Amino acid sequence: MTSLLHTCEPPSLRLRSSLHRHSRLGGRTATPSHLSRPPRSRRPAAARVAMTTASDELGKGIAEFYDKSSGLWESIWGDHMHHGFYDAGAPATITGHRAAQIQMVEEALRFAAVSDDPLKKPKRIVDVGCGIGGSSRYLAKKYGAKCEGITLSPVQVKRAHALATAEGLEDQVSFQVADALKQPFPDGQFDLVWSMESGEHMPDKTKFVGELARVAAPGATIIIVTWCHRDLSPSEESLQPNELNLLNKICNAYYLPAWCSASDYVKIAQSLSLEDIKTADWSENVAPFWPAVIRSALTWQGFTSLLRSGWKTIRGALAMPFMIEGYNKKLIKFAIIACRKPT
Give 170-191 pLDDT, tens digit per residue: 999 999 999 999 999 999 999 9
Query: In percent, how much of the chain has pLDDT > 90?
Result: 58
Quick one: pLDDT band at residue 95, thresholds 50, 70, 90?
A: low
Least-confidence region, from 1-10, 122-131, 176-185? 1-10
Q: Please report which residue ranges of the chain form alpha helices under DSSP H.
A: 14-17, 33-36, 45-77, 94-111, 134-143, 154-166, 205-215, 241-254, 262-271, 283-286, 289-297, 300-309, 311-318, 320-328
CATH architecture of 50-341: 3-Layer(aba) Sandwich (3.40)
d(CA 146, CA 165): 14
Q: Is 216 left (phi over 0), alpha (psi -120 to 50) or beta?
A: beta
The pLDDT of residue 136 = 97
The pLDDT of residue 341 = 98
Residue 23 has pLDDT above 60, yes or no: no
The pTM score is 0.82
d(CA 191, CA 286): 28
d(CA 277, CA 266): 7
The pLDDT of residue 295 = 72
The pLDDT of residue 69 = 67
Distances (CA, A) of 87 to 18, 108, 161, 270, 289: 36, 14, 32, 31, 12
CA count, 13 A, side-chain hemisphere, 313: 19
Mean pLDDT of the chain: 82
The pLDDT of residue 59 = 66
d(CA 283, CA 334): 5
d(CA 204, CA 33): 10
Name the packing angle between helices 300-309 and 45-77 (round to 10°): 150
Q: At 222, which helix (H) or strand (E)?
A: strand 216-229
Average pLDDT over residues 69-79: 67
